Amino acid sequence: MQAPPDFLEPTINTIAPDLWLTHDDIGLGPLRADLAETYWRWENSLPVMAGYARQTPESLTERTAGLEAQLEGSADQTRFTIYRHHDDAWTPVGMTSLLIDDRYRTAEFFIYIGEPDHRGRGTGTIATTMVLDWAFHVTALRCVYLEVLANNTAAIRAYEKAGFRTVGTRRRTGSWLGQPADELIMDAVPEEYSGPRLVEAAVLGTPRAHP
Ligand SMILES: CC(C)(COP(=O)(O)OP(=O)(O)OC[C@H]1O[C@@H](n2cnc3c(N)ncnc32)[C@H](O)[C@@H]1OP(=O)(O)O)[C@@H](O)C(=O)NCCC(=O)NCCS
């Protein structure tokens, strides 16, 4: 029997990932151990560090240990790798998380698009909408909230389009490019969710209609 040709060798971009939810060309799937260096590279890039006001890079050793804990999983967190479908492959482009407070059925939301070429193309907005659908219709949360630096206009715009609204401002509690910066507090509740019902469609086998 002939050996398979080299071009069938799987790569990070051509392996069909285990996707939990898809919408158009965006997918959400579990965290992956083989992406440890990729997550680390993304999280230590300057746009992501600036977006989270991080002042020191993290070592690969530290990130790998953190990922091991995240991969073990627990009931107080749901973490997703974000994929974008292009060139006939699902490419990992970022990460998003819900850190759940079970006492009140709330969660704090985090997101970044790590691959620069995939920012500003609607990926963050769609992924945020999909996580809200999951948060309200899988995790049964009452409220999802986030904090964002007031200078981070791209993030604020993406969050607003996905259904978050600003409910307050914390003054000078963050920093942006080395200067003190305000942080907006934004939240989303299930009663106001108007995005696509992807979870419902997957469970009931119905068309993915807006409510
Ligand atoms: C924030 C982030 C997740 C958004 O994802 P994204 O895929 O780039 O966002 P989208 O393309 O869906 O939407 C961005 C919106 O902001 C707008 N935008 C982009 N840069 C902007 C800027 N400098 N000023 C104003 N608006 C801007 C875009 O035009 C778009 O709005 P539109 O569709 O009305 O035109 C992504 O940019 C990112 O990962 N940034 C670095 C990490 C970070 O800051 N995370 C959030 C921390 S709270």
3-state secondary structure of 190: helix
Q: Pull the structure tokens for residue 174.
A: 């963050």
d(CA 151, CA 134): 28
Could you say which residues of the chain have pLDDT below 70? 1-16, 208-211
Task: Tell me how far the alpha carbon of residue 123 lies from the centroid of ligand 1, in angstroms.
Answer: 9
Q: How far apart are CA 9 and CA 123, in angstroms?
A: 28
Does residue 82 lie within any of the structural domains? yes
Q: Taking a C-beta distance cutoff of 8 angstroms, is the pair 173, 183 a contact?
A: yes
pLDDT of residue 206: 80
Residue 72 CA to ligand 1 centre (angstroms): 31
Which of 128, 145, 152, 157 best tests ligand 1's pocket when mutated (most atoms within 8 Å of CB)? 157
Instruction: Give 3-state DSSP helix, strand, coil % of the chain, rounded to 5.
Output: 35, 30, 35
The CATH number given to whatever domain includes residue 83 is 3.40.630.30
Whose tokens are 């119905």? That residue is: 206
- Is residue 210 included in any domain, yes or no? no
Query: Is 21 part of a structural domain of the chain?
Result: yes
Residue 17: predicted pLDDT: 80
**Mutational pocket test of ligand 1: of 43, 119, 176, the residue with most ligand atoms within 8 Å of the beta carbon:** 119
> How many domains are there within the chain?
1
- Cα of 7 from ligand 1 centre, angstroms: 35
Look at residue 209 and tell me if it is in a domain.
no
Which pLDDT score, from 0 to 100, does residue 147 have?
Answer: 98
Residue bearing tokens 């009663």 = 191
Query: Is residue 1 one of the residues assigned to a domain?
Result: no
| Half-sphere exposure in the Cβ direction for 173 (13 Å, CA) | 11
pTM assigned to the model: 0.92
Encode pLDDT of 80-135 as tens digits.
999 999 889 999 999 999 999 999 999 999 999 999 999 999 999 999 999 999 99
Question: Which residues form the pocket of ligand 1, taking CB atoms under 6 Å from any ligand atom?
Answer: 47-48, 51-52, 111-113, 119-125, 148, 152-155, 157-158
Whole domain around residue 25: which residue ranges?
6-204
Q: Roughly what angle, to the nearest 10 degrees, separates helices 60-72 and 36-43?
A: 120
What is the rounded distance in angstroms from the CA atom of residue 142 to the CA atom of residue 136? 7
